Structure 1
Amino acid sequence: MEDINWSIFIFIVSFLVHTDAGSKCFDCTRLPFPRDCDHVTQCGDHEVCYTKQIVSHSGHVFYNTGCLDRVRCINWVHKKRHVISDSLLISDDESNDIITCLQCCHGDYCNTHGCNSEPHKPYPSARGPLCFNCQKGTALPGDCETVVVCGQDEHCSIEDIVGIGGDKLYKTGCKKCDRGNYMIPVGKRSATSCSGCCQTEFCNNNCNSVTLMIPSKPTTAITSTTSYKTTQSQILPFPAPTMYSKDQQCKIVGYRYLNFYDKCFKPYSDRKLSWQQSRDKCIEDGGDLVIFHDKPEEFYFETWLLNLTSVTSRYWVGASDLGHEGTWLWVDNTTVDTKLYFHPGEPNDAGYPEGFHENCAAATYFADQAHRILLNDDNCSLPSYFICEIGFTRECPDKSYLYSAAVGMCFKIYTTMWTWQQAQDKCHSEHAALVEPNTIAKIKFFDKFLRTLAIVKAKYWVGGKQSQNDPSVFTWQTTKQTIGQGLWHVGEPSSDTEHCASLHYYNRPDLDRLYLLNDLHCTDHNAFICQYLW
């Protein structure tokens, strides 16, 4: 038998004899190295861990990791055997990237260095332990799916905390612990406490299966009879407003954060629109045309714009005298100090003798004013570049929700896998409802937002449902508005038996590779997004 055939035989046998419960595997996409993955998942009993090396259309090398059906691994080995080239170029069915390596392995966390990639530095000689890390807490220690490399003087830790809703939660992460402290053997921990450190990697995901180091001598230990039932429940640890910096929140919607201005900005230099069209685009993004209320703001804005753009560019800003000729107002209805912000002699409505008014303000470069950018009135229908801003104006009454000015709402993302009605009931219990992204701008926001997360699900329940009076119509359940067809994937909604709406990501070349609406069976179990009801 040839060597390659013997290798295939051993490979297949090893897969067939491993029929126990599925492994815990690292699960990430398009990373520069597999060892950089910080998310783990529980595979099914028919799955194993895998590492896939891919080459994009641009020639960049990436790695995907996760769970894969055993049979697909076996079939892939056969597929590899029959490719007439040692270089192995196989197209990925999901992404159209080129697969240059796919390697499967057995055992928890085994796919950190597949496809001949470099492994982590050795533990404990060269680094600290890999530990679960959910600082906001989870319902059970085993619900945490995010990992981190701790310092060499740290151990994996678990800590009892109380959530803002009064619930007992488990905070996991890294902590400096004194090895000289007393040890509680397995099964002898306190029946009510799960706080302390443990000595191995990945050990802080189960109170009953680790030996804890605690900071002081324990009282008389008792055997715990508590039975823990494993669930898939988890609240993503980011939703509190402080968890994402303002800079990160701006980047999520494609804007830039200006610290001195404390707002998100975006100069649209790739298109020219009329003043009203420009403002409509800004509002669609969740903001408005840029304004400023004092000279320092205008000065910083001017300096930023000079450094950012061509001096010959002109940008619409949020000032006009439309409907109140001669009285210039910002788009927030405050008065514009024309002497402070406009070029000397402006605004002068110079176009009026030619048959049109100049009712809209544009930031314009003037060489005769020490090469400064000042405001000038111009014909509102003239196509020009424009600048949008999005402010941070509100905080959520429930601090576990995240406010975004881009969509004008407070929201929270759950990765709990529940039915549509269970998800809606959970939202209602928090003075919220399943989110209703009723414009394409809101759909695009959540598409960008969800795809930035370390933990990503393909489907999220939203607040749309089939109308009982007209099965051809889906409506938002809170506002009772009809859901527009432009918010759905092509060909959706498509079933007489799928009555509930979800944000659904299809990673297929023949479909839109973004989150759009899809109809699903209401009894399916999916993640979901709640929107706080003000």
Structure 2
Amino acid sequence: MKGYFSVLLFTLHILLCVKDSEAQWYLRCRLCSRANSLEDCTTFTECSEQETCYTDLVVTQDQRLVYDAGCRSKKVCGHENKRALTGEMVACSRCCTRGDYCNDGLCGLKKNTNIRMCMSCDGHEGRPAAKPYPEDCQRFRVCDYNEACFARTTSVAGNSAVEHYTSCLDLRTCQSLVNGIKDAYHQGDALLGKRNTNICAICCNDELCNEYSCAAIKRRIVNLIENDAFNMTTLQEI
């Protein structure tokens, strides 16, 4: 009987952990207001369980085409195409739930393929400063053609906390950071970015690839390198 209750308690504990884990996941959506293109959507929002990502293509009073995007109630989705705003018309309205930023491309909200957007909490040009956790950064930035996404983790002086800094960085500097990463990773190099280390710095060059912790980005790159799926010149997944 004692063994039965032990198993029962263990099972309940697992179910509660799964429930808590599920409750902590939120769908991320591009957030836009009167945007002309995806590059104008420089932040995101997190939806509740009752919401989904959406994108609206709006015809303004002066006949301009602009985009609104974010989170919307699931009950409302699918009923917006004939919705009329004061002096405006919604020409297209779409919703999605298939994953983070799934409202990219809806109603034609597409990005220029020649540019790359990266997370950017660097404290410059009105952007927020470095954050305690990677997921606290909700600002995007368009990088120059000769830049890549950059992530850095540093210890906060005087305590055990860390800060996660993200931005764009010169591609040549980024290539130097990535070179030798595989050997350093397997040797347990101090730069791998555990929360108690002094520093971790890494680059990548896929869309929003620096939205994770520095250590997580390094693990991803090592895995891609080992599977011949990473271009060391462009710093992109093949």
Task: Mark the CA change 1:143 to 1:46 in structure 2 (over 3 Å): closer, same or farther.
Answer: same
For 1:173, the equivalent position in structure 2 comes to 167
CA contact (8 A) 1:53 1:101 kept: yes
For 2:46, the equivalent position in structure 1 comes to 42
Mapped to 2, the partners of 1:197 and 1:69 lie a distance apart of 38
For 2:118, the equivalent position in structure 1 comes to 131
Amino acid of the residue matched to residue 47 of structure 1? E
CA apart distance, 1:41: 1.7
CA apart distance, 1:142: 1.3
CA contact (8 A) 1:56 1:97 kept: yes
Q: Which has the higher contact order (CA 8 A, sep 6+)?
A: 2
Amino acid of the residue matched to residue 95 of structure 2? C
For 1:100, the equivalent position in structure 2 comes to 91
Structure that is richer in helix per residue: 2
Task: Mark the CA change 1:154 to 1:58 in structure 2 (over 3 Å): closer, same or farther.
Answer: closer
Amino acid of the residue matched to residue 29 of structure 1? S
Root mean square deviation, CA, Å: 3.4
Amino acid of the residue matched to residue 218 of structure 2? T
CA contact (8 A) 1:155 1:197 kept: no
Mapped to 2, the partners of 1:141 and 1:30 lie a distance apart of 27
Rg (Cα) greater in structure: 1
CA apart distance, 1:140: 1.3
Unaligned runs of 5+ in 1: 1-18, 81-88, 215-534
CA contact (8 A) 2:39 2:142 kept: no
Mapped to 1, the partners of 2:53 and 2:32 lie a distance apart of 12
1:23 matched to 2:27? The reply is: yes
1:197 matched to 2:197? The reply is: no
Mapped to 1, the partners of 2:49 and 2:202 lie a distance apart of 30
Secondary structure of the 2:95 match is: strand
Task: Mark the CA change 1:159 to 1:205 in structure 2 (over 3 Å): closer, same or farther.
Answer: same
1:61 matched to 2:65? The reply is: yes
CA apart distance, 1:96: 6.2
Task: Mark the CA change 1:22 to 1:74 in structure 2 (over 3 Å): closer, same or farther.
Answer: farther
CA contact (8 A) 1:34 1:111 kept: no
Secondary structure of the 1:57 match is: coil
Mapped to 1, the partners of 2:103 and 2:39 lie a distance apart of 8
Q: Deviations over 1:446-491 (max 9, x none)?
A: xxxxxxxxxxxxxxxxxxxxxxxxxxxxxxxxxxxxxxxxxxxxxx
The alignment covers a number of residue pairs equal to 177
Task: Mark the CA change 1:61 to 1:190 in structure 2 (over 3 Å): closer, same or farther.
Answer: closer
Mapped to 2, the partners of 1:164 and 1:137 lie a distance apart of 14
Task: Mark the CA change 1:71 to 1:213 in structure 2 (over 3 Å): closer, same or farther.
Answer: closer
1:91 matched to 2:88? The reply is: no
Q: Deviations over 1:296-327 (max 9, x none)?
A: xxxxxxxxxxxxxxxxxxxxxxxxxxxxxxxx
1:140 is aligned, of 133, 144, 153, to 133
Report the TM-score when normalising by structure 2: 0.61
CA apart distance, 1:133: 0.2
Mapped to 2, the partners of 1:163 and 1:190 lie a distance apart of 14
Q: Deviations over 1:308-357 (max 9, x none)?
A: xxxxxxxxxxxxxxxxxxxxxxxxxxxxxxxxxxxxxxxxxxxxxxxxxx
Unaligned runs of 5+ in 2: 1-21, 123-128, 222-238
1:121 matched to 2:125? The reply is: no
Report the TM-score when normalising by structure 1: 0.29
CA apart distance, 1:164: 9.5
CA contact (8 A) 1:133 1:144 kept: yes
1:112 is aligned, of 104, 114, 123, to 104
Mapped to 2, the partners of 1:206 and 1:155 lie a distance apart of 15
Q: Deviations over 1:128-156 (max 9, x none)?
A: x3210010211212111111122344332
For 2:15, the equivalent position in structure 1 comes to none
1:206 matched to 2:193? The reply is: no
Q: Alignment identity in percent?
A: 25
Amino acid of the residue matched to residue 209 of structure 2? C
Secondary structure of the 1:73 match is: coil
Secondary structure of the 1:58 match is: coil
Task: Mark the CA change 1:91 to 1:42 in structure 2 (over 3 Å): closer, same or farther.
Answer: same
For 1:73, the equivalent position in structure 2 comes to 77
For 1:341, the equivalent position in structure 2 comes to none
Mapped to 2, the partners of 1:104 and 1:165 lie a distance apart of 46
CA contact (8 A) 1:38 1:147 kept: yes
CA contact (8 A) 2:202 2:217 kept: no
Task: Mark the CA change 1:213 to 1:108 in structure 2 (over 3 Å): closer, same or farther.
Answer: closer
Task: Mark the CA change 1:170 to 1:116 in structure 2 (over 3 Å): closer, same or farther.
Answer: closer
Task: Mark the CA change 1:160 to 1:98 in structure 2 (over 3 Å): closer, same or farther.
Answer: same
Amino acid of the residue matched to residue 201 of structure 1? E
CA contact (8 A) 1:140 1:169 kept: yes
Q: Give the 5 Å matches for 1:202-351.
A: 202-207=208-213, 209-211=216-218
Q: Deviations over 1:67-112 (max 9, x none)?
A: 1122211344xxx4xxxxxxxx5313xx663212111123212223
